[in-house]
Amino acid sequence: MNGHRNAGIIGTGSCLPDKVMTNKDFEKIVDTTDEWIRTRTGISERRITDGNTATSDLATIAALKALENADLSPEEIDLIIVATVTPDVMFPSTACIVQKNIGAVNAAAFDLEAACAGFLYGLSIADSLVKAGSFRKILVIGAETLSKIVDFSDRNTCVIFGDGAGAAVISEVPEGYGVLSTYIGADGRDGHLLTVPAGGSRIPSSIESVKKRLHYIKMDGKEVFKFAVKIMGDAAEKVLEKCGLTKEDIDYLIPHQANIRIIDASVKRLKISNDKVYINLERYGNMSSASVAIAIDETSRKGILKDGDTVVLVGFGGGLTWGSAVLKWKSIGRY
Ligand code: UT7
């Protein structure tokens, strides 16, 4: 071990609500078409929670699956980080609710908010904490019920988002495996491009704020699009540079699933072939912090990721924020 600790993913899990909402369903509620949504975004359908399901419900199931996958009991977890922009309540944190639900009695718990880059922020923090020896087994969860904050009368936003949760257990792994590098960043100057204006201390909830529809996602899609294409390439290059690798070393790229045109443009810029890129956007839409987490769980369970693969994760979102990571993959449970 060389005196250094290495951290990596030792188990993953995910949870998607059963209810499917197709593009055709949206044709009935806003002025849109299946064709527009597919060609402009790459999305065909997304999962939507029912009225009784909150973010912690999805996060809890994803967490239990990740624990099972890692062959750990809840008591062995010493920290839970939930990345979300759709917490159950203002406080307590969704992480504390998950801690109670799964019985992780020995875990500290907190939420972090970095929008769609949230899971990558969580992974970066967990990696540092395990390497430092401060915590041994950390659950990082990206969980969202975006359907609860989407304005179903705004065609610019409502067709894009979906609900879901993904979880990963981060722990010490043998040298040469796991997280090789992470990179996170932010530019608060452009926060207004993607926001839910009301419900916080700037515009507290009121009859007026509800009437003005200020509790829903507001997005300048075009500007976010431009930022996304630039940052996806930059963040991937930077994180590879940090661990002494180059674009040529990428075996697999797992990008944040926001728009197929953003992914295509980034892939073109990075000059990697499309068969090295995981896309589940057409089935789930953009699930913010859950997107990358669910994609890791799917690629892992399907055996798409092979032992020794160099995997690059990259995401961006409201804040504005971005994050990336390089993993040296090894099949779960075989360390
Ligand atoms: O996770 C990070 C969060 N968000 C993102 O990554 C989103 C980034 N942005 C995008 O993905 C794209 O900008 C959108 C998918 C949101 C929009 O696509 P676009 O190609 O940038 O469309 P646009 O905003 O330039 O709009 C083009 C036209 C407009 O009509 P006019 O003004 O040209 O008559 C829109 O009103 O398309 C119209 N439009 C729609 N038409 C049918 C916008 N939404 C729809 C819709 N159906 N759902």
pLDDT in single tens digits along all 335 residues of the chain = 445 899 999 999 999 999 999 999 999 999 999 999 999 999 999 999 999 999 999 999 999 999 999 999 999 999 999 999 999 999 999 999 999 999 999 999 999 999 999 999 999 999 999 999 999 999 999 999 999 999 999 999 999 999 999 999 999 999 999 999 999 999 999 999 999 999 999 999 999 999 999 999 999 999 999 999 999 999 999 999 999 999 999 999 999 999 999 999 999 999 999 999 999 999 999 999 999 999 999 999 999 999 999 999 999 999 999 999 999 998 776 45
Q: Are residues 51 and 123 in the same domain?
A: yes
Protein residue closest via CA to atom 2 of ligand 1: 317
Query: Is 272 a domain residue?
Result: yes
Would you state the structure tokens that stand for residue 9, as one six-digit string? Answer: 């993913």
Query: Is 333 a domain residue?
Result: no
Q: Are residues 16 and 32 in the same domain?
A: yes
286 is catalytic: yes
Q: Are residues 160 and 278 in the same domain?
A: no
Q: Which domain holds residue 150?
A: 7-175
Q: Which atom of ligand 1 is nearest to the CA of 156?
A: 44
Q: How far is the CA of 94 from the centre of ligand 1 (A)?
A: 31
Q: Are residues 153 and 205 in the same domain?
A: no
Tell me the torsion sign for CA atoms 248, 291, 266, 186. Answer: negative
Among 133, 108, 129, 170, CA closest to 296: 170
Protein residue closest via CA to atom 7 of ligand 1: 221
Per-residue CA distances from 36 to 32, 43, 313 (Å): 7, 10, 28
Protein residue closest via CA to atom 6 of ligand 1: 258
- Is the pTM higher than 0.85? yes
Which residues' Cβ are closer than 6 Å to ligand 1?
Answer: 32, 36-37, 40-41, 116, 155-156, 159-160, 194, 221-222, 224-225, 228, 258-259, 286, 317
Protein residue closest via CA to atom 38 of ligand 1: 156
Q: How far is the CA of 156 from the centre of ligand 1 (A)?
A: 5
Alpha carbon distance 190, 117 (integer Å): 15
Report the number of secondary-structure helices (H) and strands (E) in the chain.
Answer: 11, 13
What DSSP string describes 128-152? HHHHHTS-SEEEEEEEEEGGGT--T
State which of 175, 191, 226 marks the end of a domain. Answer: 175
Q: Are residues 17 and 156 in the same domain?
A: yes
Q: Which atom of ligand 1 is nearest to the CA of 157?
A: 16
Tell me the torsion sign for CA atoms 58, 9, 311, 297. Answer: negative
State which of 175, 191, 220 marks the end of a domain. Answer: 175
Would you state the structure tokens that stand for residue 77, as one six-digit string? Answer: 């977890």
Q: Are residues 198 and 242 in the same domain?
A: yes
Query: Is 335 a domain residue?
Result: no
Give the 3-state secondary structure of residue 87. coil
State which of 175, 198, 232 marks the end of a domain. Answer: 175
Would you state the structure tokens that stand for residue 35, as one six-digit string? Answer: 């064709």
Q: Is 326 left (phi over 0), alpha (psi -120 to 50) or beta?
A: beta
Alpha carbon distance 236, 314 (integer Å): 6
